[in-house]
């Protein structure tokens, strides 16, 4: 009887951990595409001014302001020229940007090893 109880407890633990991992991966995927959606938003209408390994300088044609998209500690964030920032992704291990044609490729590796990449068609200076 005790063996049966231990087996049921072990199976329940495995199922619970698997469900937790699936929700975590799904959440990071959703968060990644939400960040890309913000980058491509018509509300800002971004144009890439400068691209570095750890920072992308953007100009908003809608607000007439400059913004930085950068990795800071374990997050991807947007900042303006003044104080403050908006974190868009957390648990980020590394971020890489590169130009491609008339757009920007954003590659993100999360701390758990999950990788995502997206192409955003943006005006490039």
- The 10s digit of each residue's pLDDT in 43-97 is 888 999 998 877 899 999 988 999 999 999 999 998 987 778 888 899 999 999 9
pLDDT confidence of residue 22: 59
pLDDT of 68 reads 92
Number of alpha helices (DSSP H) and beta strands (DSSP E) in the chain: 1, 9
Structure-model confidence comparison of residues 24 and 79, the more confident one: 79
pLDDT attached to residue 3: 78
- High-pLDDT (> 70) share of the chain, %: 89
Q: What is the pLDDT of residue 55?
A: 87
Give the closest residue to 33 by CA, choosing from 99, 123, 120.
120
Q: What number of CA atoms fall less than 13 Å from residue 17's CA on the CB side?
A: 6
């Amino acid at each position: 009887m005790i063996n049966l109880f231990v087996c049921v407890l072990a199976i329940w633990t495995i199922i619970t951990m698997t469900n937790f991992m699936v929700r975590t991966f799904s959440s990071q995927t959703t968060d990644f595409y939400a960040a890309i959606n913000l980058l491509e938003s018509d509300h800002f209408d971004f144009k890439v001014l400068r691209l570095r390994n750890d920072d992308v300088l953007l100009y908003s044609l809608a607000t007439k302001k400059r913004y930085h998209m950068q990795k800071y500690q374990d997050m991807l964030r947007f900042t303006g020229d003044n104080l403050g920032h908006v974190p868009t992704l957390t648990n980020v291990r590394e971020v890489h940007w590169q130009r491609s044609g008339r757009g920007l490729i954003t590659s993100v590796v999360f701390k758990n090893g999950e990788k995502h990449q997206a192409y955003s068609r943006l005006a490039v200076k």
